Structure 1
Amino acid sequence: MDTQNLIDMANRIGDFFESMPDHEEALAGVADHIRRFWEPRMRRALLAALDEAPDANGIVLSDFVREALVGHREELTPAAASTA
């Protein structure tokens, strides 16, 4: 998984939603977009990057995207795969 590409994509999503007048709605929009359109392994990799040093991958999450991920982490975290 190319973490730098995921961070870049998340930042572009954040750029779109950040222009919304309602800050909380914009944060929810980022999280909802990522939850709905990114597969679980992409979300896991992005959340893992969030937990690393801010500049560990060369491309840094924007403050706005970081706020969205932190505030909506529970809904963004994929459910554990069942072993049934």
Structure 2
Amino acid sequence: MTSTHTPPHIRLANEIAAQFQRRDPADAARAIADHIQSFWDPRMRIRLIAAAQDSGSGLDPLAVAAAALLPPPVDRHAEPRPSPAGL
């Protein structure tokens, strides 16, 4: 049986994008990205960024544009970089 469940990060991004449809696309994408950066859990942001790279994800084009404006995810498990000598 096939599920028609839309993942939360896609559903929410599309709902936010729907609120900005009448704005200039560049301004709308920036406002959506600002909202996502401010209020979304980092794990959902990571999923959104990954989904935006998949043309079959079902994301609204404004949500895709907003995802492209988000900073890349930080790997919190990466080894810390040593600081330069003397600092």
Q: TM-score surpassing 0.5?
A: yes
- Structure 1 vs Structure 2: percent identity of aligned residues? 32
1:15-26 pair list within 5 angstroms:
15-20=18-23, 22-26=24-28
Q: Distance in 1 between the 2:20 and 2:55 partners?
A: 25
| Residue 51 (structure 1) shift | 2.4
Greater Rg by CA = 2
* 1:50 aligned residue (43, 52, 64): 52
Higher helix share: 1
For 2:42, the equivalent position in structure 1 comes to 40
Q: Which runs of 5+ in 2 are unaligned?
A: 81-87
- Say which structure, 1 or 2, has more relative contact order (CA 8 Å, 6+ apart): 1
| Residue 49 (structure 1) shift | 1.6
How many matched pairs? Answer: 75
**What's the Cα RMSD here?**
2.3
TM-score by length of 2: 0.69
TM-score by length of 1: 0.71
